[in-house]
Amino acid sequence: MRALIKPGPGEGLVLTDVPKPEPAENEVLIKVLRTGICGTDLHIEAWDGWAESTIRPPLVLGHEFVGEVVDAGRAVRRVRVGSVVSGEGHLVCGQCRNCLAGRRHACASTVGLGVQRDGAFAEYVTLPEENVWIHRHQVDLDVAAIFDPLGNAVHTTLAFPVLGEDVLITGAGPIGLMAAAVAKHAGARHVVLTDVNEYRLALGAKVGVDATVDVSRSSVAGIQAELDMVEGFDVGLEMSGRASALESMIANIRHGGRIALLGLPSDPFPADFSAIVLKMLTLRGIYGREMFDTWYSMSVLLQSGLDISPIITHRFAYTEYEAAFATAHGGDCGKIILDWG
């Protein structure tokens, strides 16, 4: 089969032929239809410091996908051949304290699809049955391909109640944009999105945010005045991993406010813990998706009218992967889809 792989240390990827995988007794074999390019894939393609310390090539990349089940191991009971599915890309141990308590998203021994295990940038991929999400309702294949990052957005956005609240989102990447759409759909009063990328801030307007702020030109405090806010934002969603973004969020959130942090910093940075203590803020780290509560929430949100299609801005055939990755690195894009049909 054809697959997009990291053949060895260094920059770049190679589209080549690799053996078609065989499902183990508890796994299914999935014919991949569409995949999404994630920031993780960009790190691996560029072979940055994180990739160098984490990835053991050769490796098939990719963890955002939708496909059709074409075969199943003898122990598989729930997933049927012919089902259209996406996959939870975090494979957990099932034996640690959190797994046994039903908190699988907090497993300390997680194995990542397309990171520590061959992934979905291929014509076929295998996945344990317990990691398979069956799409039981009609869903656009492009949207189904990005259930993984949508899950990050939903998990982060709904970490705290947002109904009637004023929400500040720092970082207008695809997950930040999805979070903005989810917050508005879930009933937030004001949703403000910040970034320095004008293209992505314009996408924010398409998903219904109340205001965008180019923080290289304007201030979050200024937008509060424009929206006639008095005490600051109720909920903050930090998606950028930048010290300046968290600093601004802490300064502009109300006393007793709550902050969910999804953005991963490239380096450690200091935070104003005096302000965190004196303002009695709650900070919560978010990683991945709750298994599988978040997946149910995603499906219900889409069925009830959530529209994330404006965030999908580019589509390429998988053979055009070089152009797709160049577009993603350029930044003037939302979510990018590779078609494996």
Q: Per-residue pLDDT tens for 284-295?
A: 999 999 999 999
40 is catalytic: yes
45-61, pLDDT tens digit by residue? Answer: 999 999 999 999 999 99
Say if CB 172 and CB 191 are below 8 A apart. Answer: no
152-171, pLDDT tens digit by residue? Answer: 999 999 999 999 999 999 99
- Cα 320 from Cα 298, distance rounded (Å): 30
| List 16, 35, 40, 329, catalytic entry | 40
Say if CB 212 and CB 192 are below 8 A apart. Answer: yes
- Cα 94 from Cα 77, distance rounded (Å): 18
- Cα 243 from Cα 269, distance rounded (Å): 6
195-217, pLDDT tens digit by residue? Answer: 999 999 999 999 999 999 999 99
**333 known ligand binder:** no
Q: By 3-state DSSP, what share of the chain in percent is helix, strand and coil, each rounded to 5?
A: 35, 30, 40
For residue 191, give the amino acid letter.
Answer: V
Residue 183, pLDDT score: 98
**193 known ligand binder:** no
Residue 266, pLDDT score: 83
Task: Kindly report the average pLDDT of the chain as a whole number.
Answer: 97
For residue 243, give the 3-state DSSP assignment.
helix
**93 known ligand binder:** yes
Cis check: omega of the bond before 160, within 30 degrees of 0: no
**pLDDT beyond 90 at 341:** no
Say if CB 163 and CB 186 are below 8 A apart. Answer: yes
90 is catalytic: no
**99 known ligand binder:** yes
Provide CB contacts within 8 A for 18, sequence distance 6+. Answer: 1, 3, 5, 60, 122
Say if CB 281 and CB 253 are below 8 A apart. Answer: yes
* Residue 300 token pair: 């219900």
2-146+308-339 maps to which CATH number? 3.90.180.10
Residues of the chain with CATH 3.40.50.720: 156-285
Closest CA to 157 of 140, 144, 174, 169: 169
Say if CB 261 and CB 284 are below 8 A apart. Answer: yes
Name which CATH class applies to 156-285: alpha beta
**pLDDT beyond 90 at 16:** yes
**pLDDT beyond 90 at 267:** no
| Phi-psi sector, 208: left (phi>0), alpha (psi -120 to 50), beta | left
| Phi-psi sector, 47: left (phi>0), alpha (psi -120 to 50), beta | left
**175 known ligand binder:** yes
**44 known ligand binder:** no
CA 178 from chain center: how many Å? 9
**12 known ligand binder:** no
Closest CA to 186 of 169, 198, 202: 169
Measured between alpha carbons, how far apart are the two ends of the chain, in Å? Answer: 13
Residues of the chain with CATH 3.90.180.10: 2-146+308-339
| List 35, 43, 90, 126, catalytic entry | 43
- Cα 62 from Cα 115, distance rounded (Å): 8
* Residue 74 token pair: 């003898």
**pLDDT beyond 90 at 281:** yes
User: Which residue would you say has higher pLDDT here, 265 or 64?
Assistant: 64
63-121, pLDDT tens digit by residue? Answer: 999 999 999 999 999 999 999 999 999 999 999 999 999 999 999 999 999 999 999 99
**264 known ligand binder:** yes
